[in-house]
Structure 1
Amino acid sequence: MALDHPAKPLAETERTRLLAIAAELGPKMVELAQGLWENPELGYLEEKSSALLAAACEEAGFEVKRGVGGLPTAFLATRKRGEGPVIGFLAEMDALPGFSQDASPRRSPIPDQNKGHACGHHLFGAASLGAGLALATWQDEAGLDGEIRIYGCPAEEGGAGKVFMARAGLFEGLDIALHWHPDDCNTVWQSRSLASINAKVRFHGRTAHAAMSPEKGRSSLHALEAFHHMASLMREVVPQDTHIHYVTLSGGEAPNVIPDFAESHIGVRHPDPGAAAEVFERIEKAAEGAALGTGTRVEVERLGAVHSLLPNSVVGAVMLANMEVLPRITWSNEEYTWAAELQESFEAPPELSQIGRLNPYNYNALGPFSTDVGDVSWLVPTGMLGTATWVPGTRPHTWQAVAAGGMSIGWKGMQAAAEGLAVSGASFLADPALVARAWDEHRAQRGEGYRYKALVGDAEPPFDYQVGKG
């Protein structure tokens, strides 16, 4: 699309120096990323990962606060010089259950390990941290005032860590938020996403022998089945673009015993956070109705709820202008051979050469995904880029993503991301007028009188949502 706010990249002299600083930090980023990759930790359980990243920030002279927002593995690292723009980098760190895999182009699980970085958050965290450290060094050399923040963000994968950080006010005073994500190509995007609310719905009944005394029982499974049926019927009478998903987590142990406990995990998605909240309220009413009709009791626990992404064309234009002039990723012959072997596990894989080019700018398209970055984007102008840390054709949440993330292909993409984030952050740090333009657009998009309200309400963080999965 034509950019509403065309931007110029950071001046070549400053850009060259900043890239040199980022290159010096390259080995440190690899060390951190590999530390997380070799010891993958699930959401809200990232004790070693958080400690590694936080310690690296302290070593670089950042002031670090651990356990912020009431989240044991979240941290905020800050480095301030005078009064000026406040630039923040989001650093994720959580792995996924399953996906055990070594750095091999063939499926090769690691013995006695049942989790892995199938979404590349080990690279995500290390590159975001590297960008913040590089920008702080460059800031001192350039004599610019401003503040650099690095946010250690836990539990993106379903735990909505940034939502609880946002609810706690940790993004107050931030001028620009920058983040990235591992990918199989290079891109700058300012797309929209789906707001999402998910919960566990638990029905409590009364057990009884299903043949000898069925009248004594109250079936929690009947309640769950009625609830799921009502949720399915609801799909006809909800706003367009609504998605309702559910699975049964528990429904009894034996057919001759009327179960006294049943559990559903249900989620609602919609591009509009308000519409998602309205549909979820109807879902809760359906659960209450199912309990009433079956003589059972119901409780609803919200696990995670995230806003949709709010794109910002000013931030996107700045990131695009800088990414267009940065060096392209290049692979060695050995890396091409490794990638070609991995691609044998794909059907009709794309060309490997796409790792050396920048894809077309993506603005305001609706993506069929949800992320807790959405909540940050409603609080502060936010921008995102992606780099080729994976072999072309790789999708997130696959063993192929884990494999490439543990070797040089992933590291080179991580380096490119750190460079793009650092140079984009420098553009805003050096030009407060750009920050003001981004905020003008941000306020106009949110509308007059906007007040942020977390879709999780006053729910406590679901610290145990991944316990037992890895």
Structure 2
Amino acid sequence: MQRNIKPVWERVDTHKTKFFKLSDRIWDKPELNYQEFYALNEYREALKSEGFNVMEGLADIPTAIMGEAGKGGPVIAILGEYDALPGLSQESGVAIQRPVVSGGSGHGCGHNMLGSASLLAAVALKDWVANAGLSARIRYYGCPAEEGGSGKSFMVRAGAFDDVDVAISWHPSALTGVWPAVSLACSEWEFTFQGRAAHAAAAPHLGRSALDAVELMSVGVNYLREHMPPSARVHYAVVDSGGIAPNVVQPRAVVRHIVRAQRLDEMWSLVERVNKIAEGAALMTETSVEVKQLSGEANLVGNSPLEEAMHANLLELGAPEFDSADEDFALQIQRTIPPEDIRRSIERLDLALNSGPLSQKIHSFDMRSGDGIGSTDVGTVSWVVPTVQCLVACYAVGTPGHSWQLVAQGKSPAAHKGIAFAAKAMAGLAADVITNQALLSAAKSALKQFRDVHPFKNPLNAETKAPLSMASIEGGRK
């Protein structure tokens, strides 16, 4: 079949306005990990209205949803997200920090755009497949709790992607290009120490301090840092110090640790060492420790055939085109950011110093960033399905991730332009996969070659349950 990608892009243009509105509605109602019930309802209704068969409660997660259209042929999964972040409430379209709700949540990572553009791509692709009389199944996966909740890892473990041939996604960014397949595998654990209360002055010898155990564990982990791979990270938060009374030997204390490493096997090895440190701290203080995994994500696995095809689609599309009003607002945002942060971002993104506040170029698909590496649960999907993602410029260069500045730009005209561009890039690549068996075979072969020498162990233990009340685990982990 001769390649003609423009009809797919035209379908995006046909539907885009209603998905801009969907993105804005999700922005208006920011919801945290596993609490995305407003977003769930919006996506359910949108999927049904576009003729998708809908399945809810994937992996026993109430806010996970999947819509499918078409029959036969390859199964194309387009991944969407819609969770927000705590403490980032912010008015739209103003370059001054001004919360809508004091202490409220906000879309500081652009997931309102991410989920909407992905569904726009799925709808355009579904229409194109039907009109062309092709065999393919188009799926939209609504994935909750990316910000630290590892929703996709639970979905992978439950088999939600077992019959998928290719997975495609994107992320709002300050640049446009193929997402480098670089991320850290990570795992979050909660350590609850139980001791014995006592009067800290009259009878301290009768007490066994759980807080002492937490502090000794932190000391042990700090000594471990010298003996970890350079790219590995362990960071923590004390979530229950045992109370506010210093004259009581604290009988209970809780600490959470996130363990990250460049590779999945390195992460599991490091988790074992951190757990041994917890056991040692309990032994030293004559306390007990309960260890519970909260979440986990694998590192991203690259797929060269899909990356090359995505890059070709981006080049054919050109770059997002922003007007003077877009640039004026981006400049206002940049004035709220320290100049050295903007310079560092320009250097990291390989932009010219005078390139302007909004990036309007396509970055090379083989770009690899050596710093600023975080984690994403898309990584777990990429171990079981050939996966590719692109980044699309939607906001000012230098905008910090997880910031009020990013929230302020989430409903802007530039954001809408990024949504349409991302949808075209994803739908175009999916069309290539559907019509080019050689590309699909090459993508599957690339993943198989990787898996033949890299055994997969899901970053979640078999007994780990999705923390559906996880909204209290703040901050996200990217």
71, 74, 84: which is aligned to 1:95? Answer: 84
* Pair 1:301-2:306 in alignment: no
353, 356, 378: which is aligned to 1:352? Answer: 356
Deviates more, 1:22-31 or 1:108-117: 108-117
CA distance in 1, matches of 2:436, 2:208: 66
283, 301, 317: which is aligned to 2:308? Answer: 317
Residue in 2 that maps onto 1:4 = none
* Pair 1:270-2:270 in alignment: no
409, 416, 420: which is aligned to 2:421? Answer: 416
Q: 1:112 Cα deviation (Å)?
A: 4.6
Residue in 2 that maps onto 1:5 = none
Contact preservation (8 Å) 1:189, 1:362: no
Deviates more, 1:278-287 or 1:308-317: 278-287
The 1:449–1:216 alpha-carbon spacing in structure 2 relative to 1, beyond 3 Å, is closer
* Pair 1:386-2:395 in alignment: no
The 1:469–1:312 alpha-carbon spacing in structure 2 relative to 1, beyond 3 Å, is closer
Residue in 2 that maps onto 1:434 = 439
Q: Per-residue CA shift, 1:305-342, capped at 9, x if unaligned?
A: 11100001001001000000104322233222212111
Q: 1:130 Cα deviation (Å)?
A: 0.5
Amino acid at match of 2:266: A
Amino acid at match of 1:423: G
Q: Per-residue CA shift, 1:212-233, capped at 9, x if unaligned?
A: 1212211011111111111111
The 1:353–1:233 alpha-carbon spacing in structure 2 relative to 1, beyond 3 Å, is closer
The 1:437–1:459 alpha-carbon spacing in structure 2 relative to 1, beyond 3 Å, is same
* Pair 1:140-2:130 in alignment: yes
CA distance in 1, matches of 2:103, 2:214: 34
The 1:352–1:125 alpha-carbon spacing in structure 2 relative to 1, beyond 3 Å, is same
* Pair 1:464-2:469 in alignment: yes
CA distance in 2, matches of 1:359, 1:224: 45
Amino acid at match of 1:344: R
Q: Per-residue CA shift, 1:189-246, capped at 9, x if unaligned?
A: 3322111111111111111110012122110111111111111111222334221112
Residue in 1 that maps onto 2:271 = 280
CA distance in 2, matches of 1:458, 1:307: 17
CA distance in 2, matches of 1:152, 1:317: 26
Contact preservation (8 Å) 2:327, 2:357: no
129, 138, 147: which is aligned to 1:157? Answer: 147
Give secondary structure in 2 for the equivalent of 1:25: helix
CA distance in 2, matches of 1:325, 1:123: 22
Give secondary structure in 1 for the equivalent of 2:179: strand
Q: 1:424 Cα deviation (Å)?
A: 0.7
CA distance in 1, matches of 2:100, 2:454: 52
Matches within 5 A, 1:84-233: 84-103=73-92, 104-112=94-102, 114-233=104-223
CA distance in 2, matches of 1:244, 1:448: 27
Give secondary structure in 1 for the equivalent of 2:292: strand
Residue in 1 that maps onto 2:67 = 77
TM-score, length basis structure 1: 0.94
Give secondary structure in 2 for the equivalent of 1:202: strand
CA distance in 1, matches of 2:78, 2:66: 10
Contact preservation (8 Å) 2:322, 2:358: no
Q: 1:448 Cα deviation (Å)?
A: 5.7
CA distance in 2, matches of 1:144, 1:450: 35
Amino acid at match of 1:96: L
CA distance in 2, matches of 1:338, 1:449: 46
448, 451, 458: which is aligned to 1:446? Answer: 451
Which segments of 5 or more consecutive residues in structure 2 lack a partner in the other structure? Answer: 347-354
Provide the alpha-carbon RMSD of the alignment.
1.9
Give secondary structure in 2 for the equivalent of 1:155: coil
Amino acid at match of 2:265: G
Contact preservation (8 Å) 1:205, 1:218: yes
Deviates more, 1:20-29 or 1:238-247: 238-247
Give secondary structure in 2 for the equivalent of 1:122: helix
CA distance in 1, matches of 2:263, 2:402: 26
CA distance in 1, matches of 2:131, 2:152: 32
CA distance in 2, matches of 1:169, 1:344: 47
Q: 1:390 Cα deviation (Å)?
A: 1.0
Q: Percent identity over the alignment?
A: 35
The 1:468–1:379 alpha-carbon spacing in structure 2 relative to 1, beyond 3 Å, is closer
Give secondary structure in 1 for the equivalent of 2:471: coil
